Amino acid sequence: MKIAILILSDPKVGEEALGRAFNALALAAESIKQGDETEIVFTGTGTRWPVELSKPTHPAYGLYQSVLPSVVGACNHCAIVFGAEVAVNSCGLSIIKDNELAGTQGLASIRRYLAEGWQTLLF
């Protein structure tokens, strides 16, 4: 299978967001283990997650580290709008702007995953 996992939840809103991000990473780990082609994208307020997940004291740190090779990056415009651009860059993640939409500085294309037949999940 080809599985695209898009993390949109905002780490600033508490437990539910942590549950969403943790489950997204758990699905990624299981998919990778099963040999599925797996890509993780941080978009929307989810662009705030990488800096949090990169802290060794974070409860999902180990899980995040285990799936990090499948993280393709973070949405450019979203990172800018939600104040995460510097943090995303400090984590060494790629900035994704393959959807050149008017009025933005380039977004991550979600449609691409659908058009290419990926199972696309939003968390």
pLDDT category at 115 given cuts 50, 70, 90 is very high
What number does CATH give the domain 2-122?
Answer: 3.40.1260.10
Q: What is the pLDDT of residues 5-36, one digit of tens each?
A: 999 999 999 999 999 999 999 999 999 999 99
Question: Cα–Cα distance between 2 and 48 in angstroms, integer?
Answer: 25
Start-to-end CA span in the chain (Å): 19
Q: What is the identity of the amino acid at 123?
A: F
pTM tops 0.85, yes or no:
yes
Q: What is the pLDDT of residues 57-66, one digit of tens each?
A: 999 999 999 9
Question: What 3-state class would DSSP assign to 8?
Answer: coil
Residue 70 near residue 78 (C-beta atoms within 8 A): no
pLDDT score for 57? 97
Residue 95 near residue 72 (C-beta atoms within 8 A): no
